[in-house]
């Protein structure tokens, strides 16, 4: 089941809210959420729900063993066993075909390639489970002794499929003690609608442009056409993924949970380090806290750990070499900025910081898009203009110009809404001391969201499938 679907918006979610409101005790409300979460997950492929349940039982049991054998080798053994099984399951279901294909290619072997369907959301709930186990061992959270409460944490449907990666510490107290106010419902609903609008109105239409130009062999694509499309793709990924995160955070708010932000207008950054402080924050903080400071070969090796983190960041996104290259590419620029130093970078003109960071980011999204390394190589020939010499590709072409003219308002809107303009408008109206301006802001925000809801509902009438990009990861 996906969020950008009329069945979810007008049947599943209202039914869940009604059942949740009808439950009087918090334990009953938790049960409602567990039931609806398992139905939500099993809707597309019921078989994988058993893998989710196995992961929840395993990591809950590991937490119990850590508490039972606290400060002994038994606790270390439990952590090692739990994390190893978690990673092994991820490797089997997500990377086994990738490993076999590369072994066959490197050694001329003919090992049958496993045909395993990737369970949706496995990367997200596995990382949540690992963070819980390690936090229990480090005593930064209390061990959850009730399995159903831990299952709620792992399976909670707002963030189950594509994040954000919610730490147990974020929801630890709210599992046992939370309430939903009218303000929570309103603010949550408005956030959900904005997230849906990002996906349905902006991301889907941006993807149509990308698919037109990058959905085929790009050998004949012009230099301008390549830059135009990769910039559009960068905006698409942002609105698709941040839209999902907005929906997840909004849904969580409607049920009394307060998830951390996952995006903070990343394209407003001035350095690559700042970009990753604003983009997919839950993943970046996961690797920072659980991998960056792990001693390698018995010592803290700063730059080895840095590139290990970015290797893992790339590999987490998919079983293909381009994702690994993408991770190491950003790792190189983080390394470059660290070696250069904050003081030197601070002296750069502001315009140069923006040009530098946006060029690196946009080219990075090109690496992210092309799983076919041949096409990736052609992409670099195109953006550098070398394609004009190698295969006579034009600098620009009429089709690209026509697409740009036809979609100029979409692109301008996408660029504008990717920047922190709405928060400033919201701050002006909703934090204004004038009662009149505050009232206009409140009424206006509700009116705008209702209009958006009508528009996206109309757009979804003839739409059969609206999966989010990060379902693949």
Of 17, 321, 5, 57, nearest to 161 by C-alpha is: 5
- Report the distance separating Cα 42 and Cα 52, nearest Å: 10
Q: What number of CA atoms fall less than 13 Å from residue 209's CA on the CB side?
A: 30
258 assigned to active site: no
Q: Which residues contact 375 (CB under 8 A, 6 or more apart)?
A: 217, 218
User: 154: closest CA among 246, 86, 94?
Assistant: 86
Other beta carbons within 10 angstroms of residue 461's beta carbon come to 7
Q: What sign has the CA pseudo-torsion 28, 29, 32, 33? A: negative
Q: Which pLDDT score is estimated for 435?
A: 80
| Plot region of 294 (φ>0 → left; ψ -120 to 50 → alpha; else → beta) | beta
Contact present, 135 and 82 (Cβ < 8 Å): no
Chunked into runs of 10 residues, the chain (473 residues) has average pLDDT values of 88 95 94 95 87 95 95 93 94 91 88 86 92 94 95 93 88 92 91 94 94 92 96 96 94 94 94 95 91 68 86 91 96 94 92 96 96 95 92 92 95 93 81 82 86 90 69 59
Residues paired with residue 299 on neighbouring β-strands, in sequence order: 296
Cα–Cα distances in Å, from 8 out to 40, 123, 465? 9, 23, 12
What is the distance between the alpha carbons of residues 220 and 145, in angstroms, rounded to a whole number?
A: 60
Q: Domain limits of the chain?
A: 6-178, 183-418
| Dihedral sign for Cα atoms in the order 138, 133, 244, 246 | negative
Residue 461 confidence (pLDDT) = 86
Q: Output the DSSP codes for 231-271.
A: HHHHHHHHHHHHHHHHHHHHHHHHTT--PPPS-S-GGG-SS
- The pLDDT score that the predictor gives to residue 386 is 93
Q: pLDDT tens digits for 15-71?
A: 999 999 999 999 999 999 999 999 999 987 788 999 999 999 999 999 999 999 998
Q: Residue 115 — φ and ψ, nearest 5°?
A: -105, 80
Question: What are the φ and ψ backbone dihedral angles of 299, each rounded to 5 degrees?
Answer: -135, 155
Task: Indicate which residue of 258, 265, 280, 317 is catalytic.
Answer: 317
Cα separation of 96 and 172, whole Å? 34
Is cis: bond before 253, omega within 30 of 0? no
**DSSP letters of 93-106?**
IIIHHHHHHHHHHH
Question: For residue 276, what pLDDT is reported?
Answer: 95
Closest CA to 114 of 130, 133, 94: 94
Cβ-defined contacts of 337-342 (< 8 Å, 24+): 337/271, 337/272, 337/273, 338/273, 338/306
């Amino acid at each position: 089941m996906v969020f950008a679907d009329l069945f979810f918006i007008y049947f599943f979610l209202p039914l869940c809210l009604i059942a949740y409101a009808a439950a009087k005790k918090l334990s009953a409300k938790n049960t409602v959420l567990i039931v609806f979460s398992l139905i939500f997950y099993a809707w597309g492929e019921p078989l994988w729900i058993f893998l989710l349940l196995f992961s929840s039982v395993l990591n809950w049991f590991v937490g119990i063993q850590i508490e039972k054998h606290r400060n002994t080798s038994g606790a270390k053994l439990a952590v090692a066993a739990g994390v190893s099984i978690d990673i092994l399951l991820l490797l089997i279901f997500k990377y086994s075909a990738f490993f076999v294909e590369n072994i066959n290619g490197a050694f001329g072997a003919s090992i049958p390639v496993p045909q395993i369907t990737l369970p949706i959301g496995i990367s997200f709930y596995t990382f949540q489970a690992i963070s819980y186990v390690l936090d229990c061992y480090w005593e930064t959270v209390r061990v959850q002794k009730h399995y159903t409460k831990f299952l709620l944490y792992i399976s909670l449907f707002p963030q189950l499929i594509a994040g954000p990666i919610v730490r147990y510490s974020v929801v630890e107290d709210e599992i046992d003690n939370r309430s939903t106010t009218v303000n929570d419902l309103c603010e949550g609903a408005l956030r959900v609608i904005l997230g849906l609008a990002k996906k349905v109105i902006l991301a889907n239409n941006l993807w149509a442009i990308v698919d037109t130009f990058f959905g085929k062999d790009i050998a004949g694509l012009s230099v301008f056409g390549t830059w135009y499309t990769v910039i559009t793709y960068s905006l698409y990924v942002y609105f698709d993924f941040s839209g999902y995160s907005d929906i997840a955070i909004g849904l969580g708010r409607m049920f009394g949970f307060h998830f951390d932000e996952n995006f903070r207008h990343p394209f407003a950054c001035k350095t690559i380090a700042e970009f990753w402080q604003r983009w997919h924050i839950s993943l970046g903080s996961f690797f920072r806290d659980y991998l960056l400071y792990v001693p390698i070969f018995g010592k803290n090796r700063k730059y080895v750990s840095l590139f290990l983190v970015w290797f893992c960041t790339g590999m987490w996104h998919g079983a293909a070499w381009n994702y690994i290259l993408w991770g190491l590419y950003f790792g190189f620029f983080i390394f470059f900025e660290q070696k250069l130093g904050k003081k030197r970078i601070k002296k750069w003109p502001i315009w140069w910081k923006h040009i530098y960071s946006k060029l690196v980011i946009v080219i990075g999204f090109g690496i992210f898009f092309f799983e076919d390394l041949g096409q990736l190589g052609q992409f670099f020939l195109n953006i550098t203009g070398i394609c004009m010499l190698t295969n006579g590709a034009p600098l620009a072409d009429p089709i690209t110009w026509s697409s740009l003219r036809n979609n100029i308002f979409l692109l301008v809107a996408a660029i504008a809404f990717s920047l922190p303009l709405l928060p400033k408008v919201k701050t002006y109206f909703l934090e204004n001391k004038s009662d009149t301006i505050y009232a206009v802001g409140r009424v206006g925000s509700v009116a705008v969201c209702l209009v958006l809801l009508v528009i996206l509902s109309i757009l979804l009438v003839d739409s059969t499938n609206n999966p989010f990009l990060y379902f693949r990861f």
